[in-house]
């Protein structure tokens, strides 16, 4: 076995470094070898006894520590004071160093930048590789790598932190993450073979396609032809006609009195919300007022009501549901204040020579009970039919979302009588009351 001294080891190590740095196709900055127990000399070739070794961050004058042991547990003094033989134990950290050697008097002997703990750190510097280079194992480029002659990979080529690749991708490349194709994506696969496959069912935003299931946007296929579903359209227009629920095709133009509805169709609105026509004579609830007639309520007598003499008799009631000449409703949630326009008609029969009195009574949380629209009639013939009619406007107003109850009252002095549901003589129809909400001025 041949034993080499420290100088022999230094020589072989330096030779190994030279072989690495002089390998064909590699040009890089040289890195002096660090020795574990090194010896330094002065300019006369004598051991640099008592000399100072200063260690800095490479290329700077910022002190960078070295260590007495490989575990980096004990830092050397900075500068390191060499012993009488010009030796010292110096272990380096992972960073690159600048070494400066001076005499004990402070005279500088030399200064060298870029000293690293391993010759493999050559790869962390700015290097240019020429010729054909083959990396047979996994190779990681943690900084910018420019491949001016292209890249051929027999295994996966991962750009984990982004980057740009151009050219033609052949074989079966796999793109993970979020690749960006800044100049578009072109596939030369022949018709009949899908250019790519998307496993995700998530909708792709801003995907421009000229065909959908073999049809174009200019001549699209049937929507929901296999399993009809619900579609929401902001605007739906048809140049010729369209059909609803398989009914006869609708061909009318909006408004102008020629719009057709299905036989069982209705135009509805929210309770109490006015329905009116717009500038094109179409039905709308926008900017309508109560005078358009949406807020309309009516009541009728289903049976005769007996009225006792000198007794105020309600001709209807609202206990759960309203019966007779009584109404209960809530004013619209928007608009107002409102007033009530109430026309009503009664058919009465009672003894002659007495007077009758009819009025309207309303009640709500804001106004309480209000009586108004008193109608006085003098009756002089016995057992004859009399008509009592009136149209009145409420003296009070009603705010939005107000629950209102309306009841017609009737009173006869001296005699009893009957308010009829149907006129038995003239068949004039049911006694009725209507209520209209009108905007208050």
Element (H, E) at 294: none
Query: Which two structure tokens, joined as six digits, stand for 333?
Result: 């949630």
- Per the model's pLDDT, the better-predicted residue between 9 and 225 turns out to be 225
The CA-CA-CA angle for residues 389, 394, 397, to 5°, reads 160
d(CA 110, CA 108) in angstroms, rounded, equals 6
| Pairing relationship of beta strands 52-57 and 97-102 according to DSSP bridges | antiparallel
- Give the pLDDT confidence of 272-300 residue by residue, as tens digits: 555 667 777 677 766 665 443 446 788 88
Q: How confident is the model at residue 271 (pLDDT cuts 50, 70, 90)?
A: low
- Give the pLDDT confidence of 118-162 residue by residue, as tens digits: 655 556 566 677 777 777 777 777 767 777 766 777 666 666 666
| Pairing relationship of beta strands 80-81 and 52-57 according to DSSP bridges | antiparallel
The CA-CA-CA angle for residues 64, 66, 5, to 5°, reads 140
Q: How confident is the model at residue 268 (pLDDT cuts 50, 70, 90)?
A: low
- At 12, is the secondary structure helix, strand, or coil? helix
- Any bridge partners for residue 316, and if so which? 324
DSSP one-letter code for 204: P
- Per the model's pLDDT, the better-predicted residue between 356 and 148 turns out to be 356
Phi, psi for 120 (deg, rounded to 5) = -70, -15
Per-residue pLDDT for 170 more than 50? yes
d(CA 90, CA 38) in angstroms, rounded, equals 8
Q: Which of 361, 341, 360 lies closest to 437, judged by CA?
A: 341
Preceding amide of 431 cis, omega within 30:
no
d(CA 271, CA 269) in angstroms, rounded, equals 6
- Work out the average pLDDT over 93-103: 91
Q: What is the pLDDT of residue 16?
A: 38
> Which domains does the chain carry?
6-124 (2.170.14.10), 296-439 (2.60.120.760)
d(CA 264, CA 323) in angstroms, rounded, equals 29
Q: What is the pLDDT of residue 51?
A: 96
d(CA 410, CA 72) in angstroms, rounded, equals 110
Q: How confident is the model at residue 253 (pLDDT cuts 50, 70, 90)?
A: very low
- Any bridge partners for residue 422, and if so which? 430
Q: Which long-range contacts (CB under 8 A, 24 or more apart) does 107-114 make?
A: 109/42, 109/43, 109/48, 109/51, 112/32, 113/58, 113/59, 114/29, 114/30, 114/31, 114/32, 114/58, 114/59
- Give the pLDDT confidence of 318-353 residue by residue, as tens digits: 988 999 899 999 988 877 788 999 998 888 887 766
């Amino acid at each position: 076995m041949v034993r080499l001294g420290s100088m022999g080891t230094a020589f072989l190590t330096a030779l190994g470094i030279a072989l690495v740095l002089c390998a064909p196709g590699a040009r890089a900055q040289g890195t002096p070898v660090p020795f574990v127990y090194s010896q330094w000399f002065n300019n006369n070739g004598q051991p640099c006894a008592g000399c100072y070794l200063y260690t800095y961050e490479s290329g700077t004058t910022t002190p960078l520590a070295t260590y007495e042991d490989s575990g980096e547990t004990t830092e050397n003094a900075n500068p390191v004071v060499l012993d009488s033989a010009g030796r010292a134990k110096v272990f380096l950290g992972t960073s690159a160093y600048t070494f400066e050697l001076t005499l004990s008097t402070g005279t500088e002997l030399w200064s060298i930048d870029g000293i690293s703990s391993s010759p493999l750190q050559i790869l962390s510097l700015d290097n240019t590789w020429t010729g054909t280079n083959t990396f047979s194992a996994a190779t990681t480029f943690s900084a910018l790598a420019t491949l001016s002659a292209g890249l051929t990979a027999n295994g996966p080529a991962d750009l984990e932190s982004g980057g740009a690749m151009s050219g033609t991708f052949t074989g079966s490349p796999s793109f993970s993450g979020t690749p960006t194709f800044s100049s578009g994506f072109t596939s030369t696969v022949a018709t009949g073979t899908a250019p790519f496959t998307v496993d995700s069912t998530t909708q792709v935003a801003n995907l421009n396609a000229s065909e959908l299931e073999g049809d174009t946007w200019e001549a699209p296929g049937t929507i929901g032809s296999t399993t009809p579903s619900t579609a929401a359209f902001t605007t739906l227009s048809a140049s010729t006609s369209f059909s609803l629920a398989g009914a006869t095709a609708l061909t009318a133009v909006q408004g102008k009195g020629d719009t057709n509805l299905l036989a069982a169709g209705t135009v509805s609105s929210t309770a109490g919300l006015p329905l009116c026509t717009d500038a094109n004579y179409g039905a709308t609830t926008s900017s309508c007022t109560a005078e358009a007639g949406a807020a309309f309520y009516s009541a009728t007598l289903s049976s005769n009501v007996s009225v006792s003499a000198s007794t105020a008799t309600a001709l209807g009631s609202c206990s759960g549901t309203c019966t007779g000449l009584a109404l209960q409703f809530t004013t619209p949630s928007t608009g107002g204040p409102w007033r009530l326009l109430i026309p009503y008609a009664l058919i009465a029969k009672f003894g002659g020579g007495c007077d009758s009195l009819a009025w309207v009574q309303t009640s709500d949380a804001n106004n309480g009970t209000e009586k108004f629209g008193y109608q006085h009639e003098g009756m002089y013939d016995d057992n004859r039919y009399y008509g009592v009619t009136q149209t009145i406007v409420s003296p009070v107003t009603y705010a939005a979302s107000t629950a209102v109850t309306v009841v017609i009252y009737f009173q006869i002095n001296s005699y009893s009588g009957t308010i009829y549901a149907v006129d038995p003589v003239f068949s004039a129809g049911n006694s009725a009351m209507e209520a209209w909400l009108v905007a208050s001025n």
